[in-house]
Amino acid sequence: MAESVGRSAGIFAVACVCGVASGMFGIGGGVLLVPLLGLLFAYSQHRAQGTSLVALIPPTGLLALISYAKADYVSWKTGFLLIPGIFAGGILGAALAKKIQPRRMRQIFAGVMFALGAWQALSAWGR
């Protein structure tokens, strides 16, 4: 029992850290949450992904969004155009995740993300 309380506290603390990244970088936080649930709490990949999706259902970014909106940092029109596609794509992707071998795909995604990150850092601070 005590162990399960400690585990819950640990998960909560990890989620707080993911939240800071979420507000700082305008992302959902799942990209951190999924690997951390797996690495620190021994979740299987599919279970980590399903659990992360639960965490992303309530408007976790609401308070952060209000801060950005106050600073006039939100493009509402683009947002509205993107939402339906993401929703439909999400169903598609989840159905696909059952069928394909996810490890390979995750590695490719990690590689692309790393390159993208390096590019962003360079274009911001290079020269």
Structure tokens, 14 = 């990890």
Q: What angle do CA 62, 64, 65 make, to 5 degrees?
A: 65
* Residue 17 within binding range of another protein, rule CB under 8 A: yes
Q: Which of 1, 5, 14, 127 is close enough to bind another protein by CB under 8 A?
A: 14
Whether residue 23 contacts residue 61, with contact meaning beta carbons closer than 8 Å, is answered with: yes
Structure tokens, 53 = 């999706």
In angstroms, what is the minimal distance from the CB of 19 to another protein? 2
Among positions 40-79, residues that touch another protein (CB under 8 A) are 41, 43-65, 67-69, 71, 73-76, 78-79
Whether residue 29 contacts residue 18, with contact meaning beta carbons closer than 8 Å, is answered with: yes
Q: Which of 2, 6, 90, 127 is close enough to bind another protein by CB under 8 A?
A: 90
How many residues lie near another protein (CB under 8 A)? Answer: 102
In angstroms, what is the minimal distance from the CB of 3 to another protein? 14
